[in-house]
Structure 1
């Protein structure tokens, strides 16, 4: 791996794995999986009837009517995005930053990927004017942009795009004839659903938006790969659905039968699943808020988290101290913080951000303890940040960031009249 080149092979290019929520598996899910473990038959490519019916109900309840002949299941969202990218052809546009797994699948197919400037407060929805400028520049240079991947509730930044920005971006994409893939993995993990309105691009541009949801984001454990996609109605959606099924067939990309049974159960959202999801969202929201308080108090920058289980941190204000530790870029910062914190701290370059920008993503699941008992205790606590093991983890994060802030302060040149002069 060429260590400082983000496009090189290896973990810098392909990014960190999808983080788990750190919680024990829901017993009802385990029971469904175990009951299906003896099935010898293979799940059909694209998903069996029961799984597709459950997926249609899931989309219907979110205001996105779906029919089984416009829905596909696959062993994880990466397989779906790979198939969609291959089926649609052309160059790919993504926000900066974006989910770590989006760009690699286009590169695997030899497709150029172009990152579009994205405001810090807008989640995974690029600035509409930057999108237009990028599309026109790429075409002027002989490129063929056809696909825009975005997310309203964002993975790396944990922010939710305002509806007005989403409207403008979707209109800009429609005007340029782009097909949109809306990654809605995290839409049901908003920390305060009453604080912000979440709309799907599929509600605004029904004929040109495919919705993808990785169930490992909110409904299944990360080790049980399953995802569903909803294709647009009409001829465009029908043709794309058929091409994606062909590609998944060529790849042998089937959901494992026991996982398909668990996914179908989870997608129907019975009481135990709804209760666990609500409890998990509350837990990660509270821990994310506490983590945000600690890193900002130490002098770093971070947008208040609004969804998911992450915090995107900018250590630009501590750049002086970082330089004193030999930290020159995001890869250096990742290695430094991962060692000091004792937990993964993937650099922003893994999400398509500028390698020179000192940014990292931290995950709340890493703060919930090392045993199922500790994590279960977090799940049932009204104040998880006050539990001893969570408090210790937060204090440790604060101490690492405080040490950097102190180093930065000590290395500032003395001011005139300062007692140090």
Structure 2
């Protein structure tokens, strides 16, 4: 098992900068905005809380998380919630508790497959509906699961991401409903990773699987993306109010007791405040949503201008360009045959750090990349805060300069 591709990209960025080399950091999925002072204040006030807490989390934090989901249309009681030191440990514990093989959309975030492999299971990958992301196409999933079972495998859980990392797309309500119906027919647990839920750019209804398959959907979230608190490490899982949900929660609680004992107490107090949705933080998330949407859309337009196929991002802070239409040029000029080749050329020749589509389970011959846009929000907290508060973030001089530089590099990359 090697270091996660996303974390390896972050280390590569740091190493190049330490060596004085130019780098345009578009590889690491960090939200790139400063911590809100009120969150820092709540964490500081709780710093003296050094004792172990309950395995599932303290009541105030679990009730706050329950309120967070209830206000988003998923009525939840505190006893259905379990906290962990980030959503990644919760995801791993859930895969372990569900047992059997894991069904993943193709492409999918890097850690889902890696966690499945840590459990000794090769994931079953299913293509997403055309133009969408994060959710397997229902008929294809049905066929893949039945084929796997006929071959002696035991698919038990499907993982979905709304909105999606790496594509930046939000699956349609129709696709989510169809996936839920298929999961019920196949008796699959649904693990809905909704860590980017608050960063959907357009207002409207949100297609959470828990709305259509409430008895079998476990939903996870954290503070890492909407509040840019990746290093603070706290996540929450919402378990269904059903016999299956009871069994899964108790199993995850047992796993948690052996893996992490309890979630850090200071973080639980800060999270209790954040998940209560105070107006100051609601406003901060709205500003972050505007920043991510403005810059991601501008970056997608640059890749489209370079001849790529690219869908307009709908949430999060990622762009998923496909260089397939310019494959011949890339092969002749740079010897590019795979997305790994393409990412390497962008790094070595242009100082641009991106991740190849193969890191997310895309075909080896694909020429897809995941581009994380927060790397151009600014070099300092003051620049990033100014970008966050700007009516038009793309008009900020340093963001405009970075976009111009990216355009020039892409033009040089695909020039005949």
* Alignment partner of 1:187 out of 192, 197, 200: 197
Q: TM-score with structure 1 length normalisation? A: 0.91
1:127 deviates by 0.8
The Cα of 1:340 is off from its aligned counterpart by: 4.8
For 1:360-399, list aligned pairs within 5 A: 360-399=369-408
Match in the other structure for 1:222 = 230
| Unaligned segments of structure 1, at least 5 residues | 1-7, 411-421
Per the alignment, residue 265 of structure 1 pairs with 273
Q: Is the 8 A contact 1:15 1:100 kept in 2?
A: no
1:341 shift after superposition:
5.2
Residue in 1 aligned with 2:59?
49
Is this contact kept in 2: 1:14–1:100, CA < 8 A?
A: no
Deviations 1:267-318 (A, max 9, x none): 0010111010000000111111111111111111210011011111111122
2:47 maps to which of 24, 29, 37: 37
Q: Give the equivalent residue in structure 2 for 1:418.
A: none
- Aligned twin of 1:347: 356
Conserved 8 A contact 1:19-1:222: no
Quote the Cα distance in structure 1 between the aligned partners of 2:158 and 2:8: 20
Distance in 2 (CA, whole Å) between partners of 1:136 and 1:15 is 36
Matched-pair contact (CA < 8 Å) for 2:4–2:110: no
- Provide the rounded CA distance (Å) in 2 between the counterparts of 1:329 and 1:344: 16
CA distance in 1, matches of 2:247, 2:42: 34
Q: How far has the Cα of 1:76 moved from its partner?
A: 1.1
- How much has 1:220 moved relative to structure 2? 4.5
CA distance in 1, matches of 2:290, 2:194: 19
Partner SS state of residue 148, structure 1: strand
RMSD: 1.7
Supply the distance in 2 between the matched residues of 1:341 and 1:284 (Cα, whole angstroms): 24
Q: Is the alpha carbon distance of 1:15 and 1:213 closer, same or farther for their aligned partners in structure 2, counting shifts above 3 Å?
A: farther
**1:276 aligned onto 2:284:** yes
On the 8 A contact 1:283/1:379 being kept in 2, the answer is yes
Counterpart for residue 415 of structure 1: none
Equivalent residues of 2:5, 2:355 under 8 A apart: no
* 1:211 corresponding residue in structure 2: 219
Q: Which moved more, 1:17-26 or 1:217-226?
A: 17-26
Query: For residues 134 and 115 of structure 1, what CA distance do their matches in structure 2 show?
Result: 8
**8 Å contact 1:91–1:113 — kept in the other structure?**
yes
Are 1:298 and 1:405, in contact at CA under 8 Å, matched by a contact in 2? yes
1:20 aligns with 2:66: no
Which shows bigger deviation, 224-233 or 103-112?
Answer: 103-112
1:356 to 360, 365, 369: 365
CA drift of 1:75 comes to 0.8
Counterpart pick for 1:155 among 153, 165, 168: 165
Shift of 1:337: 2.0
**Following the alignment from structure 1 to structure 2, what is the Cα–Cα distance between the partners of residues 400 and 146?**
45
* Counterpart selection for 2:88 from 65, 78, 86: 78
Match of 2:177 in 1: 167
CA shift for structure 1 position 389: 0.5
Deviates more, 1:303-312 or 1:216-225: 216-225
Is the aligned partner of 1:304 residue 2:305?
no
Return the match for 2:242 from 194, 217, 234.
234
| Contact 2:33-2:228 at 8 Å conserved across structures | no
Whole-angstrom CA distance in 2 between matches of 1:193 and 1:156: 21
Deviation at 1:68, TM superposition (A): 2.1
What are structure 2's unaligned runs of at least 5 residues? 11-27
* TM-score of the two chains, using structure 2 as the length reference: 0.92
Q: 1:301 to 1:14 in 2, by over 3 A?
A: same
Number of residue pairs matched?
398
Does structure 1 conserve the Cα–Cα contact (< 8 Å) formed by 2:138 and 2:179?
yes
Larger radius of gyration: 1
